[in-house]
Amino acid sequence: MNHLASCIFACTLFLWCILDEASAFRWDAALRQRSSLSVCEGQNLTIPWAFQLDPGEKAEVFEWQRKYGLDAALTITISEVKDSGTYTVIASITNAKNKKKKYTHTVSVLVLVSPATSDGRMHVAMLPEPVIVGSGTEVDYHARLSCGTFKNLGHPPVTVVWTLPAGVNMASTTYQNGTFYFDVPNPVVSGLYSCEINSTDPALDCVDRSSDLKVGDSVFLDGTDIQLKLMNHKLQAERNVRQGKLEKERQRQEGLESKLNQESKKLKDLETKLRHEQSVLETKVDQVEKKGNGFSDCKEVQGLKKMHWLTSSKKFSLRIDLTDFHGKTAYAKYDSVSIHGPRHGYKLVVSGYSGTAGNGLMKPVRGQTLKWQTSNNQPFSTPDHDRDYCSCNCAAERRAGWWFYYCAQVTLNAPYTHKEVSDVNRLVWYPWKKWKTLKATEMKIRPKE
């Protein structure tokens, strides 16, 4: 700021002070500047403006100004909430020297409205259902009290104060549609719980002196009883949660079961299909065998087929028991036995001999003529299917189906003799009895463990 400007500012201030001192205008102290007044709805409020003048001074014009309007009277009639606001009066004064000056004064006015309930009283009650506070595992149950029912909360809106048995005051937990709610702290203390309009609420000034709204209401709570009820609720809720979980698990299992059923049905269908295909294939194989150089379906061949099927599914051992006409016995055991399929002419394959009868199926006894006489690894020959290596027909000569090579040193299928004779074409086991016939023979197979 330069010197000239500050000089003008100071001089103006000085002049103002002189002028002000010249007037004796004073506002009356009864209503101080910027004070607040309140009035109940429907009542008239007079704002008692007053001032003193010096002799020679006269008040010329008075203006009433409201925050949002203009009025021209000293006493105003206020009856509605919308009349609330700041009021200003302006006095225009002319002094003895005919100098004019304006003086202003303001006051704020609040129009109060009494709260009202549906029946002119307040009612406190406990809700039948507790409220759930918190979430997840931190859930807690509280008894909830209601206080109401307000048709309107007045102006400015009132709130209520709850008083607990211990005398503590607390605010409401929530308010909804004319009713204040209070969630009783746990553990619930037995005693009176009361609800009153907050005594500092200005709107209470407009409530009739005899009105029950000044009194409020209270309810007696039995702490033990309520605590039990809350516990029951909690248990029930937990039970519901558990049942919900169980139900979910049950549905999940049902889903799994139905899936399993579908899968097993698919498998069954597949199995049926495979069986059918297998039977078709078997029929075809049978037809090929009958047509080709296979065996006819005599009893022996059927037996061989079975043996083939058995020994190809599992490992089997073979035991042969022999009895001569003197009652003596001997045996030959083979650790492993298998009969090959029709394409291999039901070839016999044995191994792992032990026993007392001699290794008749595998080991040729000494002597040149017997050199080729093992049955091991030989196909099965019958009189009409000669598969041996002899220029003769071993099966026809011996009248027996057997695994012949250059014929054989043992033949257990040859015709029976009722007494001991020496005959190469009969029931014989050369390593034990040479060509003497046997009284009884047995071939048994059994699955190996």
Ligand X SMILES: *[C@@H]1O[C@H](CO)[C@@H](O)[C@H](O)[C@H]1NC(C)=O
- Residues contributing to the site for ligand X (CB under 6 A): 43-44, 77, 149, 159, 161, 169, 171, 177-178, 198, 200
Q: Which is nearer to ligand X, 147 or 332 (CB)?
A: 147
- To the nearest whole angstrom, how small is the minimum distance from the Cβ of residue 146 to ligand X? 11
Q: Which is nearer to ligand X, 96 or 168 (CB)?
A: 168
For residue 136, is it left (φ>0), alpha (ψ between -120 and 50) or beta? left
Q: Which is nearer to ligand X, 178 or 255 (CB)?
A: 178
For residue 309, is it left (φ>0), alpha (ψ between -120 and 50) or beta? alpha
- To the nearest whole angstrom, how small is the minimum distance from the Cβ of residue 176 to ligand X? 7
Question: Which residues have a Cβ under 8 Å from the Cβ of 337 and sit 6 or more positions away?
Answer: 311, 316, 317, 318, 348, 349, 350, 445
Q: Which is nearer to ligand X, 158 or 230 (CB)?
A: 158
- To the nearest whole angstrom, how small is the minimum distance from the Cβ of residue 143 to ligand X? 19
- To the nearest whole angstrom, how small is the minimum distance from the Cβ of residue 201 to ligand X? 6
- To the nearest whole angstrom, how small is the minimum distance from the Cβ of residue 34 to ligand X? 22
Query: How crowded is the C-beta side of 369, counted as CA atoms within 13 Å?
Result: 3
438-443 contacts at long range (C-beta below 8 A, 24 or more positions apart) = 438/322, 438/323, 438/324, 438/325, 439/323, 439/324, 439/325, 440/321, 440/322, 440/323, 441/320, 441/321, 441/322, 441/323, 441/412, 442/319, 442/320, 442/321, 443/318, 443/319, 443/320, 443/412
- To the nearest whole angstrom, how small is the minimum distance from the Cβ of residue 38 to ligand X? 15
- To the nearest whole angstrom, how small is the minimum distance from the Cβ of residue 179 to ligand X? 8
DSSP 8-class letter at 423: -
> For the chain, give me the number of helices (H) and strands (E)?
5, 25
Q: Which is nearer to ligand X, 198 or 351 (CB)?
A: 198
CA distance 76 to 64: 9
Q: Which is nearer to ligand X, 42 or 255 (CB)?
A: 42
Q: Which is nearer to ligand X, 40 or 400 (CB)?
A: 40
Of 19, 69, 82, 25, which is closest to residue 49 (Cα–Cα)? 25
- To the nearest whole angstrom, how small is the minimum distance from the Cβ of residue 43 to ligand X? 6
Q: Which is nearer to ligand X, 78 or 320 (CB)?
A: 78
CA distance 201 to 219: 23
**Which one-letter amino acid corresponds to residue 427?**
L
- Which of helix, strand or coil describes residue 299? helix
